[in-house]
Amino acid sequence: MGLWQLHFLCFSLLSSFLLVQSNSRVFRTPSHANAFFLRPKRANVFLLEEILQGSLERECYEERCNYEEAREFFEDTPKTVTFWTVYVDGDQCNPNPCLNDGHCTDKIGGYTCNCTDLFLGLNCEMDMSQCPTNGPSACQHFCTIKWGSYHCSCVTGYRLHSDGRSCIPEDPHRCGTISLKKAERSKQPEAGNHICPDGHCPWQVSLRTLTGEEQCGGVILEPHSVLTSAQCLKKGQKLYVVAGDKATNMRIQIHKIYIHSRYKNGLPGDDLALLRLSLPIPFGPTHFKVCLPTKDFCENILMSNGKEGVTGQPDKDPLASPLLAYLNHEDCKLNLSHSLSNKMFCMKSLENQHGHRGVKALRRHDAQNGFNTTAQEVKDATPKVCKLLPGAPVATVEGTTVFLTGMLLSPMSHDCEQGVVFTKVSRYLPWIEEHLKLSEAEMTTQVAVYPQP
């Protein structure tokens, strides 16, 4: 047997042995076969890597690349930056966080929004065609819409801060300023007495007869001018104004009266009167003037549903909280027996605002649901009687500034559950401002202070 024949015999035996060991499988599966023939191969091997243009796949996907290697491929800085910001930490603009059709630009560790006209903010969330009502961009006092933007302004006696939103006091006799400490306390329901100690608010006055009987309330608008209810001024009755608390009160004669031309005795509408005093009220910690708001600021910010308003209490009820909550017209009408015009608004005690129901509301609810109201339920729902003087003002403390919102229309003792009805001052601002100028401009030589009763 030749040598080649011996080799052939050995090869045949080895082949037979391998076939037996592989369970007679001659062919491989497609996946195994492809894995054998397809091997990863780097482009531009050896010296060609330094000669040919860089490969994005080779430089940044097969391996981790740096900025220079990416720049080597793009050969353009803006394109490199666009690729690099996504490559390093993902695309912050997917999904697009920018609102109101804002364009998102991805950055390393963040993004920026290029907003369309009339929108601002990190995510273009602020509509510049509308005044923001809260947050860091909201105006502290007044906001005026202008074309494509809004403008903040301040009430007289304050100036606008460089931030364009805050108001800084600059007049020592400015209106409605309370200390920050008191303003912070007033956020709690039981804290209204810190602003109005013993039920007396510094911007509030009372109207009394010559015998000292308290008839009505009023509010200080200027040193010589007090706003009150027209129903308080009965023909032939002489009244004087008392300003300040018990320790510092002063009694001033009324020199002239301006009653709203549309007021009719016995009707609730247009129930306003401006009093010109014979002596100016000296401003200080115990008595100062309240601020007049703008119509928009008053109705949309100061009187928003559920917001707290401050109103003083008569001396006979010094422990009662001077805080009430604003109600919308729909809630107010549920318990009122008379119509409510758009020149009026309602408030109710904070206890009732947070869940207590009046007797009428309780019986109405039970009747609608087929229940009988028990005597105990009626007793539990027995309303608290509010004791406010006609013409008593209500004001909202916004920040550290007090703004007048209304004058009491309801009788002195009434059901708080039904809502306390006020004249809406915002609807009478032109009349108030016109007669306020007349009152303060008028000069008189008469100086009269009624004696102590």
**Structural contact between residues 290 and 307, judged by C-beta atoms closer than 8 angstroms:** no
Bridge pairing between strands 344-349 and 214-222: unpaired
Residue 44 has pLDDT above 50, yes or no: no
| DSSP string across 217-238 | EEEEEETTEEEE-GGG--TT--
* Preceding omega of 393 cis (within 30 degrees of 0): no
- Give the tens place of pLDDT for each residue, 254-293: 999 999 999 998 888 899 999 999 999 988 888 899 999 9
CB atoms within 10 A of CB 236: 4
Could you please state the CATH topology (level 3) that the domain comprising 183-441 is classified under.
Thrombin, subunit H (2.40.10)
Question: What's the whole-number average pLDDT of the chain?
Answer: 76
Strand partners, 104: 113
Q: Report which listed range, 32-41, 114-123, 250-259, is most confident.
A: 250-259
Note the Cα 14 to chain centre separation in Å.
90
User: Is the pTM above the cut of 0.85?
Assistant: no
- CATH architecture classification, 128-169: Ribbon (2.10)
In whole angstroms, what is the distance from residue 157 CA to residue 171 CA?
A: 5
Tell me the two tokens of residue 381. Answer: 């729902």
Q: Report which listed range, 68-77, 257-266, 304-313, is most confident.
A: 257-266
DSSP for residue 403: E
**Which tops the pLDDT comparison, 248 or 173?**
173
For the chain, the straight-line distance linking the first and the last C-alpha, in angstroms and rounded, comes to 153
364 pLDDT tier (thresholds 50, 70, 90)? very low
Polymer length of the chain: 453
Amino acid at 370: G
What is the arithmetic mean of pLDDT over 241-245?
84
**Which tops the pLDDT comparison, 386 or 356?**
386
Please report, for residues 175, 294, 341, 395, the alpha-carbon distance to residue 154 in angstroms, rounded to integers and kept in the order given: 11, 10, 30, 17
The contacts of residue 241 (CB under 8 Å, 6+ apart) are: 205, 206, 207, 208, 218, 226, 251, 252, 253, 254, 275, 277
**Nearest to residue 392, comparing CAs of 372, 411, 415?**
411
Residue 30 has pLDDT above 80, yes or no: no
**Structural contact between residues 385 and 446, judged by C-beta atoms closer than 8 angstroms:** no
**Nearest to residue 218, comparing CAs of 252, 173, 262?**
252
**Structural contact between residues 320 and 387, judged by C-beta atoms closer than 8 angstroms:** yes
40 pLDDT tier (thresholds 50, 70, 90)? very low
What is the arithmetic mean of pLDDT over 123-131?
78
pLDDT at 108: 78
The contacts of residue 85 (CB under 8 Å, 6+ apart) are: 106, 107, 108
**HSE value, Cβ hemisphere, 13 Å, CA-based, for 385:** 8
Residue ranges of the domains in the chain?
128-169, 183-441
pLDDT at 152: 92
Residue 317 has pLDDT above 90, yes or no: no
**HSE value, Cβ hemisphere, 13 Å, CA-based, for 18:** 8
pLDDT at 366: 43
Amino acid at 428: Y
Residues above pLDDT 70, as percent of the chain? 67
- Give the tens place of pLDDT for each residue, 200-227: 789 999 999 988 888 899 999 999 999 9
- Give the tens place of pLDDT for each residue, 365-403: 444 444 444 444 434 444 555 677 889 999 999 988 999
**Structural contact between residues 278 and 252, judged by C-beta atoms closer than 8 angstroms:** yes
